Chains A and B, each alone.
Chain A
Amino acid sequence: MFSVHRVMGSETEFGISQPDNPHANPMRDSARVIDAYAGPRGLKSSQSFWDFATESPLADARGFLMNVADADISQLTHLPQESVEAQYLANVVTENGARYYVDHAHPEYSSPEVLTPRDLVTYDRAGDLVALASVRALASSSEPVNLYKNNTDSKGSSYGAHENYLVDRGVDFDRLVTGLIPFFVTRQILCGAGRVGIGREGEAKGYQISSRADFFEAEVGLETTLRRPIVNTRDEPHADPAKYRRLHVILGDATLAEPATFVRFGSTSLVLGLIEAGLAPELELADPLQSLWDVSHDLTLGAKLPLADGSSRTALEIQEIYWAACAEHAGGDADTSEVLAEWRRFLDGLATEPRSLADSIDWVAKWVLLDGYRQREGIDWDHPKLALIDVQYHDVRPEKGLFHRLEKAGRIRRMTTDAEVDRAVVTPPEGTRAYLRSLAVTRFSDSLVAASWDSLVLDAGEYGTVRLPMSEPLKGNRELLAEKLADVHTGEELLRALGVTRLEPNRDDEV
């Protein structure tokens, strides 16, 4: 019996532009975006603040390491210091335990670790408010910057909205791959963000379901910036590598509609539960990449995808198989039931009248909007107005972003309240080590030298600098620590309260 509960997190790379200066340096502007948020809040922002000691972006889940010299520089999460671009690598841990930093040429918000799809929705959305706060802070500067929660400029560039799921290390990686590919290829009908134009540069006119599909070129692989694979093999668990892997999903679109985010993460967590339990459906697509593109380009949802056994299925039929397996084998707790019910509602709506889901799924909401506009104006899909609407749907500003206008007008369902999201911007989620990371940057800021997903580096007074590993994502949470740390205020006191009795650098005590 498995449930939807799992340690997970979202990453959003925001599109960035200076409205009146198309030649602005996006790395510099991304750093300005991060600093504009960090400065007024007293958050430390610098490259050296992130503890890179445990990062291993070139470790491959299939069991080998890529040589740094062979890697494209865009594959390195930590650029060499001698690179002139290194000066722009701003890095911040925000009050809620998230990471807000410059990733390549985009500002990125990586949510704190959460345990439920509802919390995921809340903390993903908190990131949109963080981005909005940056835009507001720079609005009065001489070089204002706008941010877009989208995935492409339709001129050949794409940037990600990644998902992370903690998975049992005992599960063979090949089983994850075979169990996930048919699900991932078809999942876009539930949570695609939609896109004007077909092809990487929008060469052909039209509208498609996924904003990312055209940028994928491999089934399985390590890369995230080139030759993007449906299943990414980056083996960087940010946790005890003997017990866990972190499945790094790079295929998805950035979702704004909360029900779509909810189903995107909830259904994926359930399917991972199926695979961990050895209950994944026996399904193999004959050509996963071609099917990925075909599903994205088929607004009728009728395309038959060839299977390896010679038969064929539609995307909806494949999703039905996964849903039925999850419904049969998953537990009956409230969170799991809610995900199954929403996933069911999406499948029923898509099977009968897809446009009925304009209140829940971004690709449908944007499609209905664009198509209505197109018909009213009598214009074709290659008209710049439609390309503009496609981008402006994702503007993080509530007065300019068309998603936000639709939601505010009651046309898109909402699961959170403004108050809940406001609180999530400054408060860590329950149940994970994000609590301790949040505490470190709020209460122990003076003693904090560096931080990362799975470590804190503290100035422990006369004992020097101490690196505190946090390799158990479920420890360091509020329940375990709030009372114990109520009267603790310095780095040294913190270490003692956590049971570190013999202080020396680089020890392996667990929190």
Chain B
Amino acid sequence: MSSNEQIHKDHSAGGGEPPAEPPTAVSAQISTENVDSILDEIDSVLESNAEEFVRNFVQKGGQ
């Protein structure tokens, strides 16, 4: 679209955007532990009465 030129200019002048990190830098942080430890953790934060919570979670429609 015709506005691309403007956008590029904003980028070079603005300098507000952090440099893009290569995706590999993030992947090194991903934990590979067994899913079991997270299931134990989740048990401790789940709302106590599942049936009642689910029954009461009633929404009006939106867009």
Residues of A within 8 A of B (CB): 2-3, 5-7, 13, 15-17, 19, 22, 26, 74, 103-106, 115-116, 118-119, 152-153, 155-160, 162, 166-168, 224-225, 243, 250, 273, 276, 333-335, 338, 341-342, 345, 359, 368-369, 372-373, 376, 384-385, 387-389, 391-392, 399-400, 402, 405-406, 409-411, 413-415, 420, 430-431, 474, 477-479
Contact = CB atoms under 8 A, between A and B. Distances in A.
A430 B4 CA distance: 15
Nearest to A277: B1
B20 A414 contact: no
B38 to A, nearest CB: 6
A251 to B, nearest CB: 12
Contacts of B30: 359, 410-411, 413
| A contact face: mostly helix, strand, loop, or mixed | mixed
B35 A372 contact: yes
Contact of B59 (A159, A166, A372, A402): A159
A391 B53 contact: yes
A5 B29 contact: no
Contacts of B39: 369, 372-373, 376
| B contact face: mostly helix, strand, loop, or mixed | helix
Nearest to B14: A430
Given A345-B23, A405-B38, A26 B59 contact: yes
Interface string B49-63: 011011111111111
B18 A5 contact: no
B59 A388 contact: no
B20 A168 contact: no
15 contacts: A5-B11, A15-B59, A116-B17, A158-B61, A369-B38, A369-B42, A372-B35, A385-B46, A387-B50, A399-B45, A402-B45, A405-B41, A405-B45, A413-B26, A479-B13
Nearest to B37: A409
Q: Which of A160, A342, A430 lies at the interface centre, i.e. has the most chain B CB atoms within 10 A of its CB?
A: A430
Contacts of B55: 22
Contacts of B6: 474
A409 B61 contact: no
Given A2-B4, A411-B30, A384 B59 contact: no
Nearest to B34: A372
B56 to A, nearest CB: 4
A106 B58 CA distance: 12
B29 A410 contact: yes
B63 A155 contact: no
A333 B20 CA distance: 11
A384 B36 CA distance: 20
B10 A431 contact: yes
Contact of A159 (B41, B51, B63): B63
Question: What class of interface size applies to chain B in its complex with A?
Answer: 35 or more
Given A158-B62, A409-B31, 12 more contacts: A15-B59, A104-B61, A105-B60, A115-B11, A153-B59, A155-B57, A342-B23, A369-B38, A369-B42, A372-B39, A402-B45, A479-B9
Contacts of B53: 19, 384, 388, 391
Contacts of B51: 384
A392 B23 contact: no
A160 B23 contact: no
B46 to A, nearest CB: 6
Contact of B1 (A6, A15, A392, A411): A6
A414 B26 contact: yes
A391 B56 CA distance: 12
A22 B56 contact: yes
A96 B4 CA distance: 23
Nearest to B45: A400
A411 B3 contact: no
Nearest to A152: B59
A341 B8 CA distance: 20
Q: Which of B7, B11, B20 lies at the interface centre, i.e. has the most chain A CB atoms within 10 A of its CB?
A: B7
B20 A22 contact: no
Contacts of A389: 42, 46
**Leading 6 A-B pairs by shortest Cβ distance:** A159-B62, A105-B60, A22-B56, A431-B10, A153-B59, A388-B50
Nearest to A415: B26
A341 B16 CA distance: 23
Contacts of B29: 410, 413
B56 A5 contact: no
B54 A391 contact: yes
Contacts of A384: 50-51, 53-54
B56 A105 contact: no
Contacts of B11: 5, 115, 431
Contacts of A158: 61-62
A478 B26 contact: no
